[in-house]
Amino acid sequence: MKQRIPIQRRIRAGKDFATVLPALLFLGLFVYYPVVQVVRISFTNWNLINDNYSYVGLKNWVWLFQGSGTKYLINSFKVTALFTLGELSITIIGGMIFAVILNRITTSFSVMRALIFLPKYIAMSSAAVVFIWILNTQNGILNFLLAQFGKAPVNWLGDKNRALFSILMLTGWRTVGYGMMIYIAAMRGISKNYYEAASIDGATKWQQFTQITIPILSPTTLFLFVTTFISAMKVFQSVDVMTAGGPYRSTEVIVYMIYKYAMEDFRMDRASTIAVVFFLVLLAITAATMKISNKRVNYDA
């Protein structure tokens, strides 16, 4: 038999819903509506300029998965995955190393921490312009320093095997301090009792680090992993300023690919198709990460 919900509870539920309604409307208007529009545009031939367009069925999808778009999509996913792997490694491993080294409460260490964290405050576009000049083949300071050791100049941004690495230099310079600060904050929350007990049991510093620090920091690592993963997958500005996707598409990450088709080639239809695929991939990977992490992350600390 169906139970009747008391009127007071219904009113309370209605009030609760009313409080979240503005946020839902905002989300619907500025998040879900554009997503639906992007999906719709992927089935049209809209070029962004023309007011008129037609629905073309699966034409753009066929171009992306069975036409000339396939190899560029695969290339961009490969480039994006490599970049993401690089940024994740720098942020998590680099951040952890710096956190362990600089986790001291003295003025000199505070200054060093500030110096490492400072680049995070510099606008990416400005930093990218500076790095273009640092990495300039002929007049860059990096090649000048290499020349002092008798090394030939390196084409940092013009060589397809080095260009992505060069962008990662900038990324690492900006993000390693962020990873460090997050880890230091988390490390200071770990009770000293764990380490004292481990010392009494004869555990070495390394054993304490691997058996206590790393497991207890796993929620922090998960946080850094998810946030860095999403931001790295969506990298655009540094690529746009430093290489414009080149040389010959070797740094063409997914978001830059979408931008190029939409804004330079006037193919909003194709850009939307790539955007939908990218959205689904991001959604699937994030969901999978959350599911896997539920079993492996230790929230006991």
Partner 1 sequence: MKKMLLLTAALLLVTGLVFAAGASETKTASTAPAISYEVTEPITIEWWHALEQQYWPLVDEIVGEFNATNPLITVEAKYIGNYATVNENLVAAHAAGSGLPALTVANTPYVAEYGKGGLTEDLTPYIKATGYDIDDFGEGMIAATSYEGKQVTLPFLISTQVIYYNKTMADKEGITIPSQITDMDAFMKKASKLNSDGTTDRWAIIIPGWDQWYFEPMYLNSGVKIVNDDRVSTDLAGPISADLTKKFQNWVSQGYTYWASGTSASSNMRQNFVDQKTFSVIHTSSLYNLYKGLIGDKFELGMAWLPAGKTKISEIGGSVLLIPAKNDQKTKNAAWVFLQYLIGKDVNMKWADGTGYIPTRNSVLSSEEGAQFLQRKPAFKAIFDNLDEINPRIQHAGWNQLATIWKSYLDQIMIEGADVDTNLGMMADEINEVLADSE
CA 205, 210, 216, 218 dihedral sign is: positive
The yes or no reply on residue 123 touching partner 1 (CB under 8 A) is no
Residue 289 CA to residue 230 CA, distance in Å, equals: 11
Residues numbered 183 to 212 that lie near partner 1 (CB under 8 A) are none
Structure tokens, 16: 């609760």
The yes or no reply on residue 124 touching partner 1 (CB under 8 A) is no
Count of alpha carbons within 13 Å of 115, Cβ hemisphere only? 8
Structure tokens, 190: 């770990």
The yes or no reply on residue 47 touching partner 1 (CB under 8 A) is yes
- Binding part of the chain for partner 1, among 6-14, 156-164, 192-200, 215-223 by CB under 8 A, reads 156-164
Q: Is 227 left (phi over 0), alpha (psi -120 to 50) or beta?
A: alpha
- Binding part of the chain for partner 1, among 168-176, 210-218, 222-230, 245-253 by CB under 8 A, reads 245-253
Give me the phi and psi of 40, to 5 degrees please: -60, -45
Residues numbered 211 to 240 that lie near partner 1 (CB under 8 A) are none
The yes or no reply on residue 277 touching partner 1 (CB under 8 A) is no
- Least separation in angstroms between residue 136's CB and partner 1 is 6
User: Which is nearer to partner 1, 195 or 266 (by Cβ)?
Assistant: 266
User: Which is nearer to partner 1, 72 or 223 (by Cβ)?
Assistant: 72
Residue 75 CA to residue 69 CA, distance in Å, equals: 10
Q: Kindly report the length of the chain.
A: 301
Q: Which residues bind partner 1 (CB under 8 A)?
A: 32, 36, 39-40, 43-44, 47-58, 63, 67-68, 132, 136-139, 157-158, 160, 241-244, 246-249, 260, 263-267, 276, 280, 283, 287, 290-291
